[in-house]
């Protein structure tokens, strides 16, 4: 079974620029998550999708972050404009039904300078 | 609000020196407590799920236990390849998301 694919692996941008991350979940997984992991901390949920609908985006900074999951498969997470404090690893995870069986991708490491 | 606190933040052991990692949690109805291993530059890798107090699970040199307030990850006779960050997370009633602790960074010296 192929895992969760994320790209790019690394990204360096200047503050106030925009950036986008892409995630392809495990085939057939209905639930997709984006987590933010700041260095030395545990992952924090940004947004949860069930198919192509948003279930939980309560911790997403909506003034600068946006995410979509078209056709209930791939997902993109965008930051515009980026701030220094957005430097982190952005992890995508998927689950068959949102209950158990989470699988994480390797993440995208974002550095904002 | 569900909360998870892990201790210690970092632990350095000699090869073969057994120890335990702690995960204290506050949750409104526990659906599951999860342990993950995370290597540098990689995403978390699933280890165990525990569902109720008194439950124990084992995998190689690792054993996870659960009480109503905390979970322990016991590491017996660790090897250098066990070096990683160990993350604990909870899923509460009515939720479909994991709430993570900050992790314990474990280093095993040969």
Residue-level pLDDT, tens digit, chain B, 110 residues: 899 999 999 999 999 999 999 999 999 899 999 999 999 999 999 999 999 999 999 999 999 999 999 999 999 999 999 999 999 999 998 888 899 999 999 999 99
**Which residue in this structure is represented by tokens 């995960």?**
B23
Cα B87 to Cα B72: distance, rounded to the nearest angstrom: 11
Nearest to B98 among A41, A102, A107 (CB): A102
Cα B13 to Cα B23: distance, rounded to the nearest angstrom: 19
pLDDT at A55 over 70: yes
Cα A64 to Cα A83: distance, rounded to the nearest angstrom: 9
Q: Which two tokens stand for residue B70?
A: 């905390």
B96–A107 CB contact, under 8 Å: no
Cα B27 to Cα A50: distance, rounded to the nearest angstrom: 23
Q: How many CB atoms are closer than 10 A to CB B8?
A: 12
Nearest to B96 among A41, A43, A48 (CB): A48
């Amino acid at each position: 079974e192929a895992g969760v694919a994320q790209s790019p692996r690394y990204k360096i941008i200047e503050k106030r620029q925009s950036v986008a991350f892409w995630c392809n979940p495990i085939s057939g997984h209905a639930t997709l998550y984006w987590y933010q992991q700041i260095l030395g901390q545990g992952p924090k949920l940004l947004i949860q999708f069930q198919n192509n609908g948003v279930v939980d985006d309560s911790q997403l900074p909506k003034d600068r972050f946006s995410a979509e999951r078209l056709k209930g498969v791939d997902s993109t997470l965008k930051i515009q404009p980026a701030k220094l404090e957005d430097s982190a690893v952005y992890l995508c995870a998927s689950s068959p039904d949102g209950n158990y069986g989470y699988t994480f991708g390797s993440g995208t490491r974002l550095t904002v300078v | 609000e569900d909360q998870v606190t892990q201790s210690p933040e970092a632990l350095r052991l000699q090869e073969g020196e057994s120890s335990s990692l702690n995960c204290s949690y506050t949750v409104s109805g526990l659906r599951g407590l999860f342990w993950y291993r995370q290597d540098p530059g990689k995403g978390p890798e699933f280890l165990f799920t525990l569902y109720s107090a008194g439950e124990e699970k084992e995998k190689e040199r690792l054993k996870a236990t659960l009480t109503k307030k905390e979970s322990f990850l016991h590491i017996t006779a660790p090897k250098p390849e066990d070096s990683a960050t160990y993350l604990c997370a909870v899923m509460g009633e009515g939720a479909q998301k994991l709430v993570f602790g900050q992790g314990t960074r474990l280093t095993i010296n040969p």
